[in-house]
Amino acid sequence: MADNELESAFQHQYITTNQVRLHYVTQGEGPLMLMLHGFPEFWYSWHHQIPVFAQDYKVVALDMRGYNDSDKPQDVSAYRMVELIKDVKGVIQGLGYDQCILVAHDWGGAIAWQFAYAHPEMLQKLIIMNLPHPAKFQEALRSNPQQMMRSWYIGFFQVPMLPELMFQANDYRAIASMFSERATNKSAFSPEDLEAYKDAAAKRGALTAMINYYRSNLDMLLQPKDWGILDVPTLLLWGEDDFALGKELTYGTKDHVRNLELHYLSQCSHWIQQEQPELVNQYMRTFLMG
């Protein structure tokens, strides 16, 4: 099937939870597989995975609050991690499930790690792509000069309005270039893909909402915490050419996750599920069958 035929099978729906109306795309029936995207993406970043896993699951790819067609609360505090965790819990329960397989990338991965610690009983399995365990990320932001330099944008995003103006300039060129110029496999993103990401970011209030994730959770990123051992079976997939997060952030993850499977993908950047979808899907399917 061509991509447009596959996407015609996607159903666009809304769910209201935790005082926000969230848009999602769904396909398939069965156990729930919930997908959380990162910055500056939206549900579309999972378009290579949705039809594949819809054969066995009810796949739900969420637009996180503040993104694309979901509500965009204006208050910075609306994007604190505690609210994002409530969103995920509310979506699972609102769809009529007690548990799900949670699949997440980038900021979605940050939320997924935190959700797994808060509500391990609601997860059958956890799949995270290119976002380290929070203990490893916090440690690196305090003691790894190379990672501190890579994460310079977190500080820049604290500045009012300037990041928004930068992303808006030249018809949202910076949004498109994050994918087209930072990808190892540049052919992974068609002109249509780049326009889709620009269009999502251009929706009224979206840019500020997206950046408010960083503004609202700076203390969480920097403050150390005793994380303990996570019991949820976890698959961590990592594109080795990640421009924002060093591979060394994955080292020692086994100290925090009892049942961990870790795979590195070479010739692959941060945008792992879009650059190497076949390999990502293969690792996911093998993990889910185990």
Catalytic residues: 106, 214, 270
How buried is 55 (Cβ within 10 angstroms: 0-12 exposed, 13-18 middle, 19+ buried)?
A: exposed
What interhelical angle do 81-94 and 107-118 show, nearest 10? 70
CA gap 120, 228 in Å, rounded: 13
Report which of 110, 115, 63 is spatially closest to residue 88, judged by C-alpha positions: 115
- Chain position carrying tokens 């924002």: 244
Torsion-angle region of residue 275: left (phi > 0), alpha (psi -120 to 50) or beta? alpha
Q: Please name the residues in contact with 250: beta carbons below 8 A apart, sequence gap of 6 or more.
A: 132, 136, 236, 238, 262, 264
In sequence order, the β-bridge partners of residue 24 are: 13, 62
Rounded Cα gap, residues 264 and 116, in angstroms:
22
Q: Which DSSP helix (H) or strand (E) runs through 27?
A: strand 20-27
